[in-house]
Amino acid sequence: MVGDEERYLVEALRQGFTAGDGTFTRRCHALLESEHPGARVFLTTSCTDALEMAAVLLDIQPGDEVIVPAFTFVSTVNAFVLRGARPVFVDIRPDTLNLDENLLERAVGPRTRAIVPVHYAGVGCELDRIAELAGAVPIVEDNAHGLFGRYRGRALGTLGRLATLSFHQTKNFSCGEGGALLVNDPSLFARAEIVREKGTDRSRFFRGEVDKYGWVDVGSSYLPSDLLAAVLLAQLERREHIQATRRRIWERYLTELAGWAERAGVRLPVVPAHCEQTYHLFYLIFPSLQEREAWQARARAAGVGTAFHYQPLHLSPMGRRFGGQPGDCPVTEQVSDRLVRLPLFNDLSDADVDRVIEVATS
C-alpha cells in the first residue's frame, strides 16, 4: 500500500454499493480523464477486457486483419482473434523493442482493420509515423505499460482512436486485477458505454435519460467492482510519489550497471529523447541465450529473482496456426532469447537495489 487504499476500501464497503460504476469508479474516471485530454475513460476488469471492447467497437469481423507486434503479451492479439480476425505479426525495433514502424507499410493491406502498437516498458512507439502509414486504419494503443508516459509531449493513450490500460498486480498502479479503455473518438463514446454494460443502455436509465433499459447491442460485463476502484484511486492519487520512486530505482540501475554492461557486452534500455517513459521495466539484453541463462543461474543462487519476458507470438502454437515461421521476426526472436528483467517494484528498498546491483556485477 502506498496511500489510502485501506481507508478507501472500508469507505466503499460502508457505502453499501460495491458493484461497478460507484463513487470510486467515477473518481478514477475523472482523475484519468484529467490526465488524458479529450478521452472518455471506462474502467474495466482487465486490460484484456479493454482490448476486447476495442475489438467490438471497431466491428472486427472474421477475415479482417489486425497488425500487432510479435513481441507482446497474448492479450494484445487474443482480443481480435476472438472476433475472427487474422493477426499480422510485425517485428520490433532493436532499440526500444516497440513495433518497427519501418516495416508497417508492407504489412498494411486491403483487409487491415486495426493496428495495435504496444508501448513496451512505457516508452512510446513512433506514433506520428505509424499514424501516417495507417491512414484511415484505426490505431489501438496497448498502453498497459505506459500510463502517464508521453510521446513528443502528448500523453500516451491519447494518440490512437482507442487505447487500453492495465492495473494488474505487476503494473506501476494496481488494484490486483483491472484495466481501462480510453476512447478518443467522440463518435464511440455512447456505444462504448453500452458495450461495457452488457450491451444495454442501463447507464442511461440510471441517469434518468430513459424510463427503462434494454438490450440494444452486443456487449459483456466489463465493469470492475467499486472495491477495486477504491484501491486503484488511492494509488492514482499517489502517482507522483510512485513514479518518483520507480524513477530513482531505474536510474540507479542505469548508472551503476553501465560500466559492467559495457564490459560484458550487455545492452541496457534505450529511451529516445522525445519519449517520457514510465519506469515500468528495467531489462538487460545479453549477447546470447547461454550467457543470459548462466547469469540468471548465478543471480538465482545469490537469492535475486529475475525473469525473462515475452515469447515470440508468431512462433507459439497459435501463432504458427496463422502462418508464423522462424525468421519472420528476427529481432523479436533474438531479443526474446536474450532479455532478462531486473526487480523493479514500488516498495523495493535501497538495500534491495544495492543487492541486485552487487549480484548483477559480480
Q: What is the pLDDT of residues 2-31, one digit of tens each?
A: 889 999 999 999 998 899 999 999 999 999
60, amino acid identity: I
- Those residues whose C-beta lies under 8 Å from the C-beta of residue 344, and which sit 6 or more positions away, are 246, 249, 250, 253, 279, 280, 281, 282
- Reported as a single tens digit per residue, the pLDDT across 292-328 is 999 999 999 999 999 999 999 999 999 999 999 999 9
Cβ–Cβ under 8 Å, residues 41 and 180:
yes
**Is 190 a residue whose pLDDT tops 80?**
yes
Cα distances (Å, whole numbers) of residue 116 to 51, 65, 71, 76, 226: 10, 11, 12, 8, 29
- Reported as a single tens digit per residue, the pLDDT across 221-266 is 999 999 999 999 999 999 999 999 999 999 999 999 999 999 999 9
User: What letter would DSSP give residue 4?
Assistant: S
**Is 1 a residue whose pLDDT tops 80?**
no
Query: Closest Cα partner for 242 from 342, 171, 180?
Result: 171
**Is 209 a residue whose pLDDT tops 90?**
no
Q: Average pLDDT for residues 206-212, to the nearest whole number?
A: 86
For residue 53, the model assigns a pLDDT of 98
Cα 205 versus chain centre, distance: 32
- Reported as a single tens digit per residue, the pLDDT across 153-176 is 999 999 999 999 999 999 999 999
- Domains of the chain are 5-238 (3.40.640.10), 240-361 (3.90.1150.10)
Cα 355 versus chain centre, distance: 29
In angstroms, the CA 201 to CA 214 distance is 6
**Is 331 a residue whose pLDDT tops 90?**
yes
- Reported as a single tens digit per residue, the pLDDT across 57-66 is 999 999 999 9
Q: Where are the beta strands (DSSP E) in 37-108?
A: 40-44, 65-69, 86-90
Q: Where are the beta strands (DSSP E) in 204-293?
A: 275-276, 283-285
- What pTM was estimated for this model as a whole? 0.95
User: What letter would DSSP give residue 114?
Assistant: E
Residue 255 is placed in which grid cell?
548508472
Cβ–Cβ under 8 Å, residues 19 and 162:
no
